Amino acid sequence: MSRQQTALITGANKGIGLAVARQLGALGYTVWLGCRDHQRGQAAAADLSGEGLDAHALVLDVTDAHSVQAASARFQQEAGALDVLVNNAGISLGSPVQASQESLDDMRTMFEVNTLGPMRMTQAFLPCLRQAKGARIVMVSSSLGSIAETNDPAGLFWDVGYAGYSASKSALNMLTVKLAKELLAEGIKVNAVNPGYTATDLNGHDGFRSVEEAARVVVELAQANPLGPTGGFFHDGHATQHRHAW
């Protein structure tokens, strides 16, 4: 009898993360919702369970090594193999001022969550990912992290600020490539995705895309087959078609 596939999504008690968990759960995955707040995580998992999905809350803080290691230990004990890790948790701080005026403390905090958080999770859960056949890691990134787009005078982001946030995503993109090359021989796919400008708490719900639409592109990569892509950055709603410039 085949084993039911498992997925762990960080920042999954709301927004894109919760939508990803719901969509993967509907596809038959056992979904683990990584959340900092125990009560919010339990409430989100209960909602999904009420919809007939196999959902579990896993308390973790991606900025805290002890929290992540404890979560990994619990997961290994209760589930073992991990087929999909979605590093979704992220933050944006400060206003879109010029880079020379941006708070270094805000930048440091964003790097801790947006860049080091996914690496911390990936390192801690690699033993679980290695137990699965053809595991996938999806980094939720942003086109603001694209150096090519940022440096294009005719592009959308030429006049956009948010240097710290953008830099944290650029660094995440680089780590995605490094991990993809390292894990290629083991059959573990690692990709980054821009889900589009989505209405979430991160932007004060100013985005034009719904969380359900954003989640679909993440879920596509989460289901990549053994011959699927790795080391790519996929743009907006075209995960299977357009490999976007870094």
Catalytic residue among 14, 29, 162, 169: 169
Strands (DSSP E) contained in the chain are 6-10, 30-35, 55-59, 84-87, 136-140, 189-194, 233-235
Distance, CA of 198 to CA of 59 (rounded, Å): 25
Which of 241, 235, 242 is closest to 218 using CA atoms?
Answer: 235
Q: Report residue 239 as tokens.
A: 């995960």
Residue 149 β-bridge partners: none
Is 165 annotated in the active site?
yes
> Please, how many CA atoms are within 13 Å of residue 2, restricted to the half-sphere of its CB?
7
How long a stretch of residues is the chain? 246
In 3D, which of 222, 239, 194 has the Cα closest to residue 90?
194
Distance, CA of 109 to chain centre? 17
Q: Is the four-CA dihedral 14, 223, 79, 139 of positive or negative sign?
A: negative
Secondary structure class of 104 (helix, strand, coil):
helix
Q: Which of 29, 133, 162, 165 is catalytic?
A: 165
List, by residue number, the catalytic residues.
165, 169
